[in-house]
A and B are shown apart, each in its own frame.
Chain A
Amino acid sequence: MLHSIRLFLRKDITANSIIVLALLVAILASATSIVNFLVFQADAIGNLVNPSETIIVSCGSSLTESNLSPKIVGELENLSYVRALVPQKLVWANITGESGSFHAIVRGVQDVEGYLCSYRAYLNGSIAKGSFEACAGELAAKAFNLKVGEGLDIMYLGHLVRVRVVGVFRTGCELDSELILPIEVVKELTGGDETISMVEVHLKHGVSLRDALNDISRRLPSGVNVFQAQQLKAFIQQVNLQTVNFLNVWSTMIYFVVAVASYLISTRLVEESCYELALLKALGAENKIILSLILSYTCTVSTSASILGVSLGLAGAQAASTALSWTNVLAQITPKLDPMQALQIICLTLASSVFGCIYPAYKASRTRYEEKIL
């Protein structure tokens, strides 16, 4: 009985219906192909910059409130791909100098000299080595009038440590706003708290950053944050996600139009095929056969339309981008559509069409054609 679908397919309405749905799908396919290009471009820009080989291990939402067990250093130091580990302790402390009090970050590291060297610091004075010595960043020194040789009282949660500024350095990074001390002094400042705030993990050259991140995350307890210091890829991925979200919201509207168009197609099919439907009923077709026929017709039309639409959309986007490149050399757009995305568009169009045609098909299957004027 399903061969009777040919009765419907031969009608004029079929070509019109395919064109109507194909044009809707073409809008979707072209928009998706252009968004794909934008996403691809963003990813390509991300790949141009070599990712840094530094991983940060901390916990909590900020570095100064992070408390990591020092055992973590032991967990990491024997990893074959690790070049260097720099455990650090950071606190926001109240500092009193000759020119008054201020609030600044105090950073404790094991080897102040090595640490500043790794940041290619310019130093005026000497390196803090002893328990009562500190190096001040240039911005901190200028903002709070700190001088080499000046004594400072550092206060943190009721604990006081007295140090002397032995050097002022410039690194051109966040260290310039801080005081750097040997880590033991900072531990003393926090009342003998042995925990650390973070560990800078420097990888050996050529090591896969992603593999290292995964491996370190796996080894450390849950609740410990392991992240890349330079988050270019993550940034681009999330910005791309925002663009794709926009496309998804917009696509939903097109699928609504497809569903309504499908409703109209099946309504008109039923109106124009009264004679054929009455004949089929007279020949003994049951309601479900009529329902299946109309559903099959819609599926055939929407599948053909979506395949045609995807092709039209891609061709249209390519033609438009070629035309654009003639007028604007910077606008070199290469639309692209993955097979999976094409399949997704076809499937969603099919689903929307079926959804749209259910009511007219059901109504047609229940109609008593012997009572209808043909």
Chain B
Amino acid sequence: MSLLPFKYLRLRRVLALALLVALSSMLFSTTAFTLVGYYRGFNIYLGEGEDIVAVYDRGSRTPFTGIVPAYLTEAVSRLDGVVAVSPEVIIPCAVRGQPAFLRGIVPDNFLKLNPLTILDGRMFGEQDLNSAIVGVRLAKKLNIKLGDKVLVTGVLVNAWLELKVEGIFYSNSPADDEIVAPLHVGQWLRGLDYNQVTLIRAKVDRRLVSKTSIYEAIAREALEQTQPSGGGRKPSQPTIVPWTRISFHAEDIGVEEAQRFMEGYMERYGVTRESIITLSTIIFLLSSTTIAFSTRTLIVQHERELEVLRSIGSSKKLLKKDMIIKLLPITLASSIAGIAATIVFLNTIIGQGYLQILSHTLTFQPDPTVIALTIILSIALVTASVLKQKL
């Protein structure tokens, strides 16, 4: 016996269930998309892929507070297989009174690692001592235009300075929410000496050089500085003030793939992609008790129709099977609608600049795992809810 021709489920009553499935899917996908987006954005902050390596301060608890001798840039760049090296100071600051991050860089070195598209103006040059280029999202947020003079105040140290905006850039990366200035500006705002930077990034050819060989070169530099013959080499001068050798311990310096380096910071606090998806799933399961409740309500609302069907010979099993078949397309459609609504909703609020974490706009990409999990969980929940009902 087939119950498919019997249209006993009233659409209006099913709508409540559909709405709940859509809302639960929205809740799950919003949580997962945003948190995974934040996690991914943070991880690729310094560069994506295994060919970008970071030389960092092991003792630092955040990627923004380490101190590394700047002259190691030269030591790293001398190695075969190192394509480009960029010493950087990344520092929180206030631009026009609003929180932002500033990257102090050496333009030629930085551009080899992070190609930027200058939308308006130009990149600052060596003689532009008090200049900066501003990321397109930050420029829009703070209404900064080419030629503007912006007041930047320090967060970690007592500093205030004026920078002339030489360009507006686009990078399709978190740098779009930042201001990029000469290395010495970052050093002023971090309170560092001209011989120190927050970290050094290098682009490497992994066939020729490994992170171990980079670390070994750094360790040799640490030893050499105690030997009088070490000062023989004359470094080239990518900055106005030439770097000088400063004392450091090799064990304080770490070398890691940039992405892995950032992941490491998150993992220290128990944040991984898996933990984020697990958290989102728990939220979905907690909110999905409403789905079970809704299924029960649907059956209560159709009690009479179900009794009629039972009286004409339908078994409980058949009824449940038929309900599942009829509810599945609705569940699937609701779940997809919930995901679609999430994507529209997040795109809208992100476009308006509402969703920011650490002054960086949340960028999210619809994660296939999250989408699949949302649909599977929704269908599984509705099916399980129908199966456990007493008819």
Chain A contacts to B: CB under 8 angstroms = 16-17, 19-20, 23-24, 26-27, 49, 52, 54, 56, 58, 61-65, 90, 92, 102, 104-105, 138-140, 142-144, 172-174, 176-177, 227-232, 234-235, 238-239, 242-243, 245-246, 249-250, 253-254, 256-257, 260-261, 263-265, 267-268, 271-272, 324, 327-328, 330-331, 373
Report which of B34, B162, B362 forms a contact with A64, defined as CB distance below 8 A. B162
Question: Is the CB–CB distance between A260 and B16 below 8 Å?
Answer: yes
Contacts of A52 in B (CB 8 A): 157-158
Report which of B149, B270, B294 forms a contact with A61, defined as CB distance below 8 A. B149
Question: Is the CB–CB distance between A23 and B184 below 8 Å?
Answer: no
B97 contacts chain A at the CB level, 8 A cutoff: yes
A257 vs B31: C-alpha distance in the bound complex, in angstroms? 14
Question: Is the CB–CB distance between A264 and B127 below 8 Å?
Answer: no
Question: Is the CB–CB distance between B158 and A230 below 8 Å?
Answer: yes
Contacts of B349 in A (CB 8 A): 249
* A interface secondary structure, majority: helix
Asked if A231 meets B154 with Cβ closer than 8 Å, knowing A238-B99, A246-B34, the reply is yes
Report which of A139, A229, A331 forms a contact with B184, defined as CB distance below 8 A. A139
Question: Is the CB–CB distance between B269 and A328 below 8 Å?
Answer: yes
Question: Is the CB–CB distance between B159 and A264 below 8 Å?
Answer: no
Chain A residue with Cβ nearest B13: A267
A92 vs B161: C-alpha distance in the bound complex, in angstroms? 13
Chain B contacts to A: CB under 8 angstroms = 16, 19-20, 23-24, 26-27, 30-31, 34, 92-94, 96-99, 126-127, 129-130, 148-151, 153-162, 164, 184-185, 187-188, 191, 193-194, 240-241, 268-270, 283, 286-287, 289-290, 293-294, 296-297, 300-301, 303-304, 349, 354-359, 362
Question: Is the CB–CB distance between B97 and A229 below 8 Å?
Answer: no
Asked if A105 meets B160 with Cβ closer than 8 Å, knowing A172-B194, A324-B270, the reply is no
* Shortest distance between the CB of A265 and any CB in chain B (Å): 8
Question: Is the CB–CB distance between B293 and A23 below 8 Å?
Answer: no
Asked if A227 meets B20 with Cβ closer than 8 Å, knowing A264-B294, A272-B300, the reply is no
* Shortest distance between the CB of B133 and any CB in chain A (Å): 17
Contacts of B130 in A (CB 8 A): 104-105, 174, 177
Contacts of B358 in A (CB 8 A): 239, 242
Contacts of A24 in B (CB 8 A): 286-287, 290
Question: Is the CB–CB distance between B150 and A142 below 8 Å?
Answer: no
Question: Is the CB–CB distance between B16 and A373 below 8 Å?
Answer: no
Contacts of A331 in B (CB 8 A): 268-270
Residue pairs across A and B with Cβ atoms less than 8 A apart, 26 shown, are: A24-B287, A49-B156, A62-B151, A63-B151, A92-B149, A92-B164, A105-B130, A173-B161, A174-B159, A176-B184, A176-B188, A177-B184, A230-B153, A232-B156, A235-B93, A242-B357, A249-B349, A257-B23, A260-B16, A264-B294, A268-B297, A268-B301, A271-B301, A328-B268, A330-B270, A331-B270
A75 vs B193: C-alpha distance in the bound complex, in angstroms? 37
Contacts of B96 in A (CB 8 A): 61
Question: Is the CB–CB distance between B241 and A249 below 8 Å?
Answer: no
Contacts of A20 in B (CB 8 A): 289-290, 293
A311 vs B296: C-alpha distance in the bound complex, in angstroms? 27
A142 vs B180: C-alpha distance in the bound complex, in angstroms? 22
Question: Is the CB–CB distance between A235 and B294 below 8 Å?
Answer: no
Question: Is the CB–CB distance between B129 and A143 below 8 Å?
Answer: yes
Asked if A27 meets B155 with Cβ closer than 8 Å, knowing A143-B126, A235-B99, A242-B358, the reply is no
Question: Is the CB–CB distance between B160 and A56 below 8 Å?
Answer: yes
Report which of B149, B283, B296 forms a contact with A27, defined as CB distance below 8 A. B283
A177 vs B159: C-alpha distance in the bound complex, in angstroms? 14
Contacts of B286 in A (CB 8 A): 23-24, 26-27
A265 vs B289: C-alpha distance in the bound complex, in angstroms? 12
